[in-house]
Amino acid sequence: MPEDDQNLEEELSFSPENIWEKIDKEKRDVVFSFADDYIEFLSSSKTERKSVEEAEKILRENGFKAISEYDQLRPGDKVYIINRNKSLAAVIIGEDELSKGCNIVASHIDAPRLDLKARPLYEDKEASVALLQTHYYGGIKKYQWVSTPLAIHGKVIKEDGTPVDISIGEDPKDPVFVISDLLPHLSKKKQSKRKMKKVIKGEELNLLIAGIPIDDEEVEDKVKTNVLKLLNDKYDIKEEDFTSAELEIVPAGNSRDVGLDRSMIGGYAHDDRVCAYSSLKALTELNSTKKTALIIFFDKEEIGSEGNTGANSDFVNSIYSKLLDKYMGDYTMQDHRNMMDNSKALSGDVSPGINPSFKSVHDIQNAASLGKGLVITKFTGAGGKYSANDAHAEYVALIRRIFNENDIPWQTSELGKVDEGGGGTVAKFLANLNIDVIDIGIPLLGMHSPFEVISKADLYYLSQGYKSFLEAE
Ligand code: MN
Ligand code: MN
């Protein structure tokens, strides 16, 4: 037994600490260099499609091949599966049989943004400009998306199936786009009395795109027609092509260091590309693979995991069938069932960090802070755990043991105060497949804003934590 009260407290109590105190100069270089690589990934992965492309590049550099390139899968093989260019699975086949299940880290690579409407382009004659109408995707605070430089990324698929890539606003020489807010001088009646959700309304999120009229007396909409001509000259598209396009309006510019001490990273879509990237890095650095290690990037989490690229689809079943088919040839429904039942998963997603100016929304003892390590979230949901995956105590104990044995610093968190609000992740959809799953991520400030903030120390240990889980026997 401890000798005095101070030792007794140390011995028995649990209180996560600021992990920077334990990071020496040498370690800090490792942490900062990991962050630099992540900043590069995040800056060039502004959409779910781009995230898949960048991930595929990293996978191929590390010896992974598409499943179609394999005739048969054997232990140690590195393989990936891409679903409709928007979701992805990457696997290292373990020494154990596939029916013993996988260790899974699943995250999502879609992020809140503004999409274009199907007929977005119009000319405002009084304002003398052309604009693009948008329809927001996911839970945004609309007022955060005005008066800030925006980029356009995505694909136009022409009638004959030809894809056209569009990416404008990231190169310093590129133009950017903007949604203009109302000036304060005239906001008093029209805008000042509006509630927060309607400070900017959906139909007011119109993107400024051009102002020069086409030099042609015959044309009625001169600015709009000039935009169409510019698009046609550069991309060989016409107005109807917008109907089969997925063009996403996102914050322009790179992610970057935040703070005098450079301890943080600010950028668009840490939620949830930070978990996706960390799991990808973890997978490429595994030392042992007794169990099959699987990472999954889902699309559509921000709108409820719907659709055939989201977590509430048969994508996981499809991954398992493909792997079993290449591994065993003939396999039974029971092989498939066993592989599912014996799998264990982490749902990789971010948590709210304690916001220093809005502390009252958190129960501080059950909230996460930047720089205190991974966040174990036993359950998400809203109110009385409605719509939550509530991880079993036995499973939480296993995860806690893996992290403690591998010196991974961790803390715990609820989304906020019990009756304050709520939300969910992909966890419950994995649970529906009879897989044990728990949410493991890092704290973040300004979630769903154009410039979210994370700690570099948390980021580094997130990847280390995922690695220790993927390697677990
Ligand atoms: Mn998320
Ligand atoms: Mn989110």
Whether residue 357 is predicted with pLDDT greater than 80 in this model: the reply is yes
Higher per-residue pLDDT: 412 or 6? 412
Q: Is the pLDDT of residue 419 over 90?
A: no
Q: What is the pLDDT of residue 129?
A: 98
Residues 109-125, mean pLDDT to the nearest whole number: 98
**Among all ligands shown, which has an atom nearest to the Cα of 448?**
2
What is the C-alpha separation between 121 and 164, in angstroms, rounded?
A: 18
- Which of 9-13, 262-266, 370-374 has the least mean pLDDT? 9-13
Choose among 385, 96, 395, 144: nearest CA to 249: 144
Q: Measured in angstroms, how far is the CA atom of residue 241 from the centroid of ligand 1?
A: 31
Smallest-distance ligand from the CA of 109: 1
Structure tokens that stand for 41 in this block: 């990934």
- In DSSP notation, 47-88 reads SHHHHHHHHHHHHHHTT-EEGGG-SS--TT-EEEEEETTTEE
pLDDT value at position 10?
Answer: 84
DSSP code, position 177: B
Q: What is the tally of helices (H) and strands (E) in the chain?
A: 11, 22
Q: Mean pLDDT check: name the lowest of 268-277, 376-385, 462-471.
A: 376-385
For the CA of 350, the nearest ligand: 1
d(CA 52, CA 438): 24
Q: Quick one: what percent of the chain has pLDDT higher than 90?
A: 94
Q: How many angstroms separate the alpha carbon of residue 65 from the centre of ligand 1? A: 28
Maximum pairwise Cα distance, the chain: 94
pLDDT score for 343: 98
Q: Give the closest residue to 372 by CA, choosing from 390, 354, 396, 358.
A: 354
| Domains located in the chain, CATH noted | 14-111+268-470 (3.40.630.10), 113-251 (2.30.250.10)
Q: For residues 340-351, give the mean pLDDT.
A: 98
Please provide the average confidence, as pLDDT, over all residues in the chain: 96
The average pLDDT across 274-283 equals: 98
**Cβ atoms within 10 Å, residue 24:** 8
Q: Measure 450 CA to ligand 2 centroid, in angstroms.
A: 12
Mean pLDDT along residues 233-254: 98
pLDDT at 378: 95
Give the distance (Å) from ligand 2 centre to CA of residue 186: 34
Tell me what pLDDT residue 215 has.
94
Q: Kindly give the distance from the C-alpha atom of residue 191 to the centroid of ligand 1, in angstroms, as a whole number.
A: 31
Q: Are strands 78-83 and 65-66 parallel, antiparallel or unpaired?
A: parallel
Put the strands of the sheet holding 78-83 in their side by side order.
Answer: 65-66, 78-83, 87-92, 292-298, 102-108, 344-347, 436-441, 374-377, 410-412
Ligand showing the shortest atom-to-Cα distance for residue 427:
1
pLDDT, residue 22, reads 94
Backbone Cα Rg of the chain: 24
Q: Using an 8 Å Cβ cutoff, are 377 and 414 in contact? A: yes
Bigger pLDDT: 415 vs 182 = 182
The CA 425 to ligand 1 mean position distance, Å, reads 6
Q: How far is the CA of 111 from the centre of ligand 2 (A)?
A: 7
Q: How confident is the model at residue 6 (pLDDT cuts 50, 70, 90)?
A: confident
Antiparallel, parallel or unpaired: β 381-382 and 422-423:
antiparallel
Phi, psi of 159 (to 5 degrees): -55, -35
Confidence of residue 5 (pLDDT cuts 50, 70, 90): confident
Asked, as a colleague might, if the bond just before 37 is cis with ω within 30 of 0, I would say no
Give the model confidence (pLDDT) of 43-81 as tens digits: 999 999 999 999 999 999 999 999 999 999 999 999 999
Question: How far apart, in Å, do the first and last CA atoms of the chain sit?
Answer: 33
Compute the distance from residue 170 Cα to the ligand 2 centre, in Å: 23
The SS3 assignment for 462 reads: helix
Environment class of residue 358 by beta-carbon count within 10 Å: exposed (0-12), middle (13-18) or buried (19+)?
exposed
Cα of 207 from ligand 1 centre, angstroms:
26
Q: Does residue 2 carry a pLDDT above 80? A: no
Instruction: Give residue 222 CA to ligand 1 midpoint distance, Å.
Output: 43
* Cα 162 to ligand 1 centre (Å): 32
Round to whole Å and give the CA distance between 81 and 70: 12
Find the 290 Cα to ligand 2 centroid distance in Å: 33
Residue 255 has pLDDT above 70, yes or no: yes
Q: In angstroms, what is the span from residue 448 Cα to ligand 2's centroid?
A: 6
The predicted pLDDT at position 272 comes to: 97
CA 95 to ligand 2 center in whole angstroms: 35
Say how far apart CA 231 and CA 213 lie, in whole Å: 14
pLDDT tens string 148-172:
999 999 999 999 999 999 999 999 9
Q: How far is 157 from 5, CA to CA, in rounded Å? A: 69
270: enclosing H helix or E strand: helix 270-284
pLDDT category at 3 given cuts 50, 70, 90 is low
The alpha carbon of 401 and the centre of ligand 1 are apart by a number of angstroms equal to 25
Return the pLDDT at 230: 97
pLDDT average, residue stretch 139-144: 97
Question: Distance (Å, rounded) from C-alpha 16 to C-alpha 412?
Answer: 9
CA–centroid distance for 320 within its chain = 23
Q: What is the pTM of this model?
A: 0.97
